[in-house]
């Protein structure tokens, strides 16, 4: 739970600088392993706590990508159980750039050790 809480605390600290609340943002994780879903769950849980909304209503603000693309509802039958709560209604998206262009996340969290995924295109995307 250490890394998970550190990510949440980092987001909360960043919000003090940029303003707003967790719910005001859309999150995209590059990576969708069990540790990532734990981080996403803690963020959704904190959103739920802040708003009084059920956690199920907070999860759609959080998107995950794995090696096959965006975690979407049309993939539900092929997903591991820990990924299923993050399968939202959306057309399939294969690349990070397509996901960023489509979802327009305000928070991008990279959880892969694969550095080649982060090119100048992503660093300069607005």
- Boundaries of every domain in the chain: 20-110
> CA 92 to CA 31: how far, in whole Å?
16
Summarised one tens digit per residue, pLDDT across range 44-89 is 999 999 999 999 999 999 999 999 999 999 999 999 999 999 999 9
Per-residue model confidence (pLDDT) at position 115: 54
What span, in angstroms and rounded, lies between the C-alpha atoms of 61 and 24?
9
Given this model, what pLDDT does residue 114 score? 57
pLDDT at res. 62: 98
- The mean per-residue pLDDT over the stretch 96-111 comes to 93
Euclidean distance between CA atoms 58 and 36, whole angstroms: 16
Among residues 63, 61, 90, 62, the alpha carbon closest in space to that of 75 is found at 90
- The pLDDT of residue 28 is 97
Superfamily of domain 20-110: NAD(P)-binding Rossmann-like Domain (3.40.50.720)
């Amino acid at each position: 739970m250490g890394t998970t809480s550190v990510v949440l605390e980092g987001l909360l600290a960043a919000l003090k600088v940029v303003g707003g609340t967790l719910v005001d943002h859309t999150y995209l994780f590059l990576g969708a392993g069990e540790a990532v879903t734990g981080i996403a769950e803690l963020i959704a849980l904190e959103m739920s706590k802040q708003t009084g909304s059920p956690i199920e209503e907070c999860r759609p603000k959080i998107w995950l990508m794995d090696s096959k693309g965006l975690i979407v509802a049309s993939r539900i039958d092929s997903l591991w159980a820990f990924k299923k709560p993050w399968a939202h209604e959306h057309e399939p998206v294969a690349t990070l750039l397509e996901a960023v262009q489509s979802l327009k996340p305000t928070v991008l969290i990279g959880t892969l050790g694969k550095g080649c995924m982060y090119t100048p295109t992503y660093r300069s995307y607005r």
